[in-house]
Amino acid sequence: MERTEKREFVTSMKSELADAGAVVVAHYAGLTVADMSALRIQMKEAGGTVKVAKNRLVKLALEGTDADHISGLFKGQTLICYSEDPVSAPKVAVEFAKTNDKLVVLGGAMGATNLDPNGVKSLASLPSLDELRGKIVGLVQAPATKIVRVVNAPASQVARVVGAYAAKGEAA
């Protein structure tokens, strides 16, 4: 990489990390190309990004962002996962690490909050924004459907009683 390419990379990475809801740092030594591709695909489907870059360049990109405090995690073969949704990147990274022991989660950041590996795991156990939105919509719609059932119940009971009397009158 030439200097101009490095500057452009640092600038673009800085803007991406500034918009990230959560950042996860992990060691990936021993992952095959197929494993790495699978991780990238899973992360992309969840709305996140996986990048492998020189530690020095990532540290430069982290300077001045809320996640500046995780610079110490970048030692050895590290990758960085991030997403706008604070739960997506940690969830995918932790799930992938469960099935592949070569990926070791070192920690991360959620805004200015520092996360150790257990913090990343607990963040991954939370429901995503889409799941929470679905639950809220369900809760909002539930009272309306209950009201409709309550209002319709007496009318259907009256109809059944009238139908029963009609059937009784025809039988007589």
Give mean pLDDT, residues 42-66: 90
Cα-Cα end-to-end distance for the chain: 97
What integer pLDDT is reported at residue 143 of this predicted model?
73
Tokens found for residue 88? 């997506």
Distance between CA atoms of residues 101 and 36, nearest Å: 13
pTM of the model: 0.71
CATH of domain 3-126: 3.30.70.1730
How many other C-beta atoms are found inside a 10 Å radius of the C-beta of residue 36? 17
Q: Indicate whether 141 pLDDT > 80.
A: no
Q: pLDDT tens digit string along 121-132? A: 888 888 877 777
Residue ranges covered by each domain of the chain: 3-126, 130-172
Tracing tokens 């932790």 back to the chain, one arrives at 94
